[in-house]
Amino acid sequence: MVTAAHRMMPPMEYVRLHDEAAGLDGVIAIHSTARGPAAGGCRLWTYPDINTAMADAFRLAEGMSYKNAMAELPFGGGKAVLRKPEGPFDRRALFEAFGAAVERLGGRYVTAEDVGTSVADMEFVAHKTRHVAGRTSRPGFAGGDPSPWTALGVFEAMKAAVQFRFGGSLSGVTVAVQGVGSVGGELCRLLSEAGAKLVIADIDAARCERLASDLGAAIAPIHAIAAAQADVFAPCALGGALTEASVAAMKAGLVCGAANNQLGDTRAAQMLLECGIAYAPDYVVNAGGIINVSAEYLGETTQQVHERVLKIGPRTEAVLREAAQRKVSPSIVADRMAEDLMKPPVAEPA
């Protein structure tokens, strides 16, 4: 059963999802449809209660509005967050029930995979709705797992940000990567190929050790990675990595990573500025995945995706340059740019 959409603090609304038989318990949050249907992935995670899941959905949906606007995509922002059932469960039943909920929104929300979900899950969703991307790719067309595109966008952003902050290339630069899953792991491979030195950390010790062995990376404890001796800190796990404590301990001169909602408290952005640490705003940097998802939904090609993802680097550099000129946090500059792009067009006088 899916309850009716409820208006929260404008412009947020949500749809509460609950189907006990299918194991579905979660929420679809819609932050904005100013630029088009709300688009954002479906996260499956172990949340202690529904209120925690809903709070995460609201933050993530807002972030998608800003991300989609900055990437100049014809979509607003939304997110689905599902609580992972305890013990074994039927993934097909769960995601088909979720797909039916998406269908009932009539195209106002477009979903795709996110943390904890996969291409196979999106195929189950597609049994019940066409408002889904991140499905099995077709030769020449956008689609499939968006993670490599996210990683490529972060890599391009980091190249531009390193050039701006340090005046050189990635070769010889030390990057501390927090989280080496599908996005963080691919980012590490790209960085290694570019000659960067790596310090990595992950909650999955075995995965971390395998990647370190493959790439010759050093391993740091997960609780200490933000304070590692590095030029760049790349948060690529869940959000909230940048806090007063982590910024105060940071050795890096640049933060540029794939995680959403990296600013964990209200002081973090200002502290980064005061400490002389350049911050590449997360939703500017990590837009590669949603660029691929939107292109898939619109029937576009992988070449079009590639061209758009390569624009993430210059866009990141432009944000950092304006922030430096104005002596303000890059997050302020990026937010203003995104909000301008979300404004409805001014009607021409009759």
Which residues are catalytic, by number? 79
Amino acid letter, residue 52: T
Tokens of residue 182, six digits: 């599908």
Tell me the sheet residues that pair with 288. none
CA dihedral (271, 340, 313, 281) in degrees, to 10, reads 20
Helix axis angle, 302-310 to 288-297, nearest 10°:
150
Hey, is 309 helix, strand or coil? Answer: helix
Return the closest-CA partner of residue 182 out of 227, 128, 134.
Answer: 134
Query: What values do phi and psi take at 234, rounded to 5?
Result: -120, 95
Q: How far apart are alpha carbons 318 and 161 in whole angstroms? A: 10
Per-residue DSSP letter, 301: B
Per-residue DSSP letter, 4: P
Tell me the sheet residues that pair with 82. 26, 44
Q: How far apart are alpha carbons 195 and 209 in whole angstroms? A: 20
Query: To which residue do tokens 């660029």 refer?
Result: 291
